[in-house]
A and B are shown apart, each in its own frame.
Chain A
Amino acid sequence: MTEVAFDQELDCQGMLCPLPILKTKKVIDTMQVGQVLKMLSTDAGSVNDMIAWTRQTGHELVYSERNDTLYTYYVRKT
């Protein structure tokens, strides 16, 4: 477990595509540039989806990790 400073947290556990991405986008929209969102997901597809989504939107995927079936992402709004 790595601790990364974050400003907001979003729990997408138990949700499948495309909900984690849609919810992440909604929360990021309400945040300030430079702030970090921590997102939790149990969707194995979210690994590639979060990489793709940040590449497309330009937001920065600061750090991500997997603990068994739990995926944690830290996204900095750009």
Chain B
Amino acid sequence: MEEKSKPKRLALVASKGTLDWAYPPFILASTAAAMGWEVAVFFTFYGLTLLKKELTATISPASNPAMPMKLPFGPEALQNFNIPLPNMLMANLPGFESVATALMKQSFKNKGVATIEQLREMCLEAGVTLISCQMTQEVFGFKDEDFIDGIDHGGAATFLDFASESDVSLFI
């Protein structure tokens, strides 16, 4: 009989806090956990905001020149219409960020994509270790009570200790 092997390990750094960049770490972490892997995600810099009780992640077309700006409702022809204006230009319109965020959330919902809150909850349920970067917490003045329950706190050494024994390690 083959010896039961140690579970595989995934180590992630989540460094970005916008809505679009919030997805990759939570999707990979929850899926790896569903495959029986051990998973730890280290939330640092703007990524740390993804552990806040109140999620406020938004998306801005300003830093995403290739982001398709599409309507999530209306006739199909209209939905497939790409507004022929550079994102950099549109992003400068007042209130555009909240419009873009609302449109993207609606598109995700229409297409059957989970919300960040859902994925985060599934990560916790599956035993994924979510680590808050203590240094970032101090720098931005976040309090422990700003964050969801069930997370760990640590620094670079904490992450590297876990990552040193991991099979997959990604910086997001």
**Which residues of A line the B interface, CB within 8 A?**
14-19, 21-22, 24-25, 43, 53, 56-57
Contact = CB atoms under 8 A, between A and B. Distances in A.
Contact of B31 (A14, A16, A18): A18
Nearest to A12: B112
B34 A16 contact: no
Which secondary structure characterizes the binding site on chain A?
helix
**Size class of B's contact patch?**
10 to 19
B34 A19 contact: no
A25 B114 contact: no
Contacts, number: 37
A16 B111 contact: yes
Nearest to B35: A56
A18 B27 contact: yes
A53 B112 contact: no
Contact of A53 (B8, B30, B35, B111): B35
Contact of A21 (B8, B34, B37, B113): B34
27 contacts: A15-B114, A16-B112, A16-B113, A17-B27, A17-B31, A17-B113, A18-B31, A18-B34, A18-B114, A18-B119, A19-B112, A19-B113, A19-B114, A21-B31, A21-B34, A22-B30, A22-B31, A22-B122, A24-B34, A25-B35, A43-B112, A53-B35, A56-B8, A56-B35, A56-B36, A56-B37, A57-B35
